[in-house]
Amino acid sequence: MTDTAAVASARWRLKRPSIIPGFGLTLGFSLVYLSLIILIPIAGLFWRSAALGWSGFFAVLTDERTLRALYVSFGTAFVAALVNVVFGVITAWMLTRYDFPGRRLIDAMVDLPFALPTAVAGIALTALYAPQGWIGSLFMPFRIAFTPLGIVVALIFIGLPFVVRTVQPVMEEIDREVEEAAATLGANRFQTVSRVILPGLAPAILTGFALAFARGVGEYGSVIFIAGNIPYVSEIAPLLIVIKLEEFNYAGATAIATIMLLISFAMLFVINLIQAWSRRRYGNA
Amino acid sequence: MPDPLRTASGRSRAFRNPADEGLGAKIILILLALAFLGFFLVLPLVSVFVEAFRKGWMEYYEALVEPDAAASIHLTLMVAAIAVPLNLVFGLCASWAIAKFEFKGKAFLITLIDLPFSISPVISGLVYVLLFGSGSLLGPLLKSWGIEILFAVPGIVLATVFVTFPFVARELIPLMEDQGTGDEEAALSLGASGWQTFWYVTLPNIKWGLLYGVLLCNARAMGEFGAVSVVSGRIRGVTTTMPLHVEILYNEYNMVAAFAVASLLTFLALVTLALKTLLELRFGAGNAGGRH
């Protein structure tokens, strides 16, 4: 418990005085637990990655199969996040503005992708969108499952609540008077929505997009069933990590994981920037 | 009240709020959203149960009591029973430190706590493989002491703790920050000990938020697939949790059994959603926002 001791000795510098007890104990425990579970293992990944050296790192990254897998992961996550922005905003609009029977139920259902295990989502979507499935058979001879399009379907499922739940609270806060003002100034409804409402929602929509995109890039469980996993075509980067691990190619797995981790950290940074910008400009996050 | 649909055709001009869409636009938007949600949320949910009961109740029941399936249910419950309390204690400690005190580096600490949300589950498993695997420093050392972590239950627990790490803390931090420190200071000035203050003042204030966090944490702990699949080694009936068992059955084209086990997990998800909605309606828990 050296952390606790260090924190306790420095507490009058680091923290504002308070009569509430337990600061050293709770912060110390939190930091130790955080380090053991999260920070040290991640540091280990970077350490192993550094041991590869630049040449070893680049050899893995410039490999054709790795590049294709990264392209498939980022490309499908981008498309799925775009689809989710369109339908997520419509869904959030429906849930905040319209009242109809079953609205509560639908509102609760939106969180299903958060609660449903990804493997279950994966096999259910595959059964539906496979050529002989309920939805897949409607689109034959055009195939959805076992192509990159199948990956997009899975990622739409996974990302939907991120967009709806980021946009919905901001939508609820919109002042109706602003819309009425736009209408009295002669704007038709379409102009009011596109020029008054949507710009105000932009930061929330952007955040929802970024969250859905970031989640989609790393998603594994729901994708591997529906993707078909054809190398160079529908093989995602997380799957390639698993394949490299099963071949005991730790160097390859480490290099791909490191680049994905760096990109997710960059995305996290961008999301925080959007939210800080939105707080400054609109007073909400 | 004139029929609003007829006003669009110009027969009688009833009042329409200019700051509102026309009825036609409303209906189109609702139908679009419902079709989208139907294709992506409702039908997958329905198909799980349809596939599970395709060959009747008997097959369904037998798929669940089969020894490997029963073992996977047992393992899943055990892993969640270890991982959730660990993250619960962490969540209480972290939110106490963060919400009740002002100190430097607080925002950075919150970012670090959120970190597992932005990491691919596969990478969450990989970091433990690198830490305890054959090429690492720790792995061979622990092995010489007879401790197995990778491809055994401790590895599965660790990976689950990693991915469910932020859930409880994330719910509690904003809740406790909102409540401030006034109640605790009053209790302390009236002579309560620190522990009494926490037990009789803070805990009753946060119990619904806490339950909400535990609920989400538990759902993820029981359903985690990517991270667990990397560390488990998939030794059938020994290191296969329910989601991994679903994968094995599915890859063996044993669809009824795969969907039968999946239906249990789906049922768990539905119960979680129902309780979550109830908590939100009754107690306003979970207002922290949508980042899960």
Under a CB-based contact definition with an 8 Å cutoff, are residues A215 and A159 in contact? Answer: yes
> Does B233 reach chain A within 8 Å, measured CB to CB?
no
Distance CA A138, CA B8 (A): 35
The yes-or-no verdict on residue B186 having pLDDT over 90 is yes
Distance CA B158, CA A269 (A): 27
Helix B153-164 and helix B203-223, axial crossing angle in degrees, nearest 10 = 130
Residue B278 identity (one-letter amino acid):
L
Omega before B121 cis (within 30°)?
no
Distance CA A103, CA A202 (A): 25
Contact A33 B90 (CB under 8 A): yes
Q: Which CATH superfamily is domain B56-283 in?
A: MetI-like (1.10.3720.10)
Secondary structure of B208-254 as H, E, C letters: HHHHHHHHHHHHHHHHCCHHHHHHHCCCCCCCCCHHHHHHHHHHCCC
A4 band by pLDDT with thresholds 50, 70 and 90: low
Helix B67-100 and helix B255-283, axial crossing angle in degrees, nearest 10 = 30
The yes-or-no verdict on residue B225 having pLDDT over 90 is yes
Distance CA A239, CA B78 (A): 27
Contact A27 B276 (CB under 8 A): no
A window 49-68, beta carbon within 8 A of B: none
User: Per-residue pLDDT tens for A74-107?
Assistant: 999 999 999 999 999 999 999 999 988 889 899 9
Residue whose C-alpha is closest to residue B168's, from B288, B75, B42: B288
The yes-or-no verdict on residue A223 having pLDDT over 50 is yes
Residue A39 identity (one-letter amino acid):
L
As a whole-number percent, the residues of chain B with pLDDT over 90 amount to 73
Q: What is the CATH number of the domain that holds A199?
A: 1.10.3720.10
In the prediction, which pLDDT does B122 show? 96
In the prediction, which pLDDT does A189 show? 87
Contact A268 B118 (CB under 8 A): yes
Distance CA B156, CA B84 (A): 13
User: Per-residue pLDDT tens for B211-222?
Assistant: 999 999 999 999
Rounded to a whole number of angstroms, the distance between the first and last alpha carbons of chain A is: 37
Chain A residues whose beta carbon lies within 8 Å of the beta carbon of residue B292: 114, 161
> Does A246 reach chain B within 8 Å, measured CB to CB?
no
When pLDDT is averaged across residues A208-218 and rounded to a whole number, the result is: 93
Q: Let me know if residue A120 belongs to a domain.
A: yes
Q: Let me know if residue A157 belongs to a domain.
A: yes
In the prediction, which pLDDT does B288 show? 44
The residue written with tokens 């002042």 in the block is: A175
User: Per-residue pLDDT tens for B31-85?
Assistant: 999 999 999 999 999 999 999 999 999 999 999 999 999 999 999 999 999 999 9
Chain A: closest CA distance from residue B31 (Å)? 10
> Does A113 reach chain B within 8 Å, measured CB to CB?
yes
Angle at A190 (CA atoms; ends A189, A196), nearest 5 degrees: 85
Least confident of A17-26, A34-43, A158-167: A17-26
Least confident of A2-11, A244-253, B158-167, B207-216: A2-11
Under a CB-based contact definition with an 8 Å cutoff, are residues B43 and A135 in contact? Answer: yes
In the prediction, which pLDDT does B147 show? 85
CA B203 remoteness from chain centre: 22
Q: Let me know if residue A17 belongs to a domain.
A: no
A window 141-160, beta carbon within 8 A of B: 153, 156-157, 160
Closest by Cβ to B29, choosing from A90, A111, A162: A90
Q: Let me know if residue A75 belongs to a domain.
A: yes
When pLDDT is averaged across residues A234-257 and rounded to a whole number, the result is: 93
Angle at B90 (CA atoms; ends B88, B92), nearest 5 degrees: 70
When pLDDT is averaged across residues A130-139 and rounded to a whole number, the result is: 91
Q: Let me know if residue A54 belongs to a domain.
A: no
When pLDDT is averaged across residues A121-135 and rounded to a whole number, the result is: 95
A9 band by pLDDT with thresholds 50, 70 and 90: low
Look over chain B and give the mean of its residue pLDDT values, rounded to a whole number.
89
Domain that holds residue A248: 60-282
In the prediction, which pLDDT does B292 show? 42
Q: Let me know if residue A277 belongs to a domain.
A: yes
The residue written with tokens 């989502």 in the block is: A121
In the prediction, which pLDDT does A112 show? 95
Using DSSP's 3-state secondary structure scheme, residue B280 falls into helix
The yes-or-no verdict on residue A170 having pLDDT over 60 is yes
Residue whose C-alpha is closest to residue B99's, from B179, B188, B164: B179
The yes-or-no verdict on residue B3 having pLDDT over 60 is no
The yes-or-no verdict on residue A35 having pLDDT over 90 is yes
Residue count (chain B): 292
User: Per-residue pLDDT tens for B96-139?
Assistant: 999 999 998 998 999 899 999 889 999 999 999 999 987 787 88
Q: How many domains, chain A?
A: 1
Token code pair at residue A202: 């932009």
In the prediction, which pLDDT does B133 show? 85
Buried b (16+ CB within 10 A) or exposed e, A161-171: bbbbbbbbbbb
Least confident of A160-164, A260-264, B119-123: A260-264
Non-local (6+) Cβ contacts of B215 within 8 A are B272, B275, B276, B279
Residue A219 identity (one-letter amino acid):
E
In the prediction, which pLDDT does A53 show? 86
In the prediction, which pLDDT does A160 show? 96
Backbone angles phi, psi at A15, to 5 degrees: -130, 155
Token code pair at residue A197: 């409402």
Chain B: closest CA distance from residue A54 (Å)? 19
Chain A: closest CA distance from residue B182 (Å)? 10
User: Per-residue pLDDT tens for B140-158?
Assistant: 888 888 888 889 999 999 9
